Amino acid sequence: MKQYKRNVNVIIEATNGVRYRGKINLKGECEPIDRLSDMFVKGKNPFITLYGVTAQGGTKVVILNKAHIISVAPDGEDVIEDESELARVKDENVPTK
């Protein structure tokens, strides 16, 4: 079974006052997670990995402890990195008569 990434663009505010803008892979947990909120409620890992964080003119990976996060907000649309999964999601969003 091919594993795919489902990145969600987010803005995270930490307890130290820093705001991070980057991507979280919802399929990065051991158990499948479909919603951003599930990562914080159902996710077993106490840390999250934030990809593509722009800082000091470059792109970084930041690992944050969930206990030090004040808020998380989606920032745009999800990015699915597998064509078959993209087709499935599009089919789910087609209204039925």
**To the nearest whole number, what is the mean pLDDT of the chain?**
76
pTM: 0.69
Q: Would 38 be classed as within a structural domain?
A: yes
Q: Would 33 be classed as within a structural domain?
A: yes
For position 28, what pLDDT does the model report?
65
63: left (phi over 0), alpha (psi -120 to 50) or beta: beta
Q: Would 67 be classed as within a structural domain?
A: yes
Q: Would 1 be classed as within a structural domain?
A: no
| Contact call for residues 97 and 83 (beta carbons, < 8 A) | no
For 35, the domain range is 6-92
**Number of domains the chain contains:** 1
For position 76, what pLDDT does the model report?
78
Q: Check which CATH number belongs to the domain holding 30 and give it.
A: 2.30.30
Q: Would 77 be classed as within a structural domain?
A: yes
Tokens representing residue 68 in the block: 């030090």
The Cα-based distances of 96 to 34, 87, 90, 91, 93 in angstroms read 22, 16, 13, 10, 9
Q: Would 97 be classed as within a structural domain?
A: no
More confident residue, 74 or 4: 74
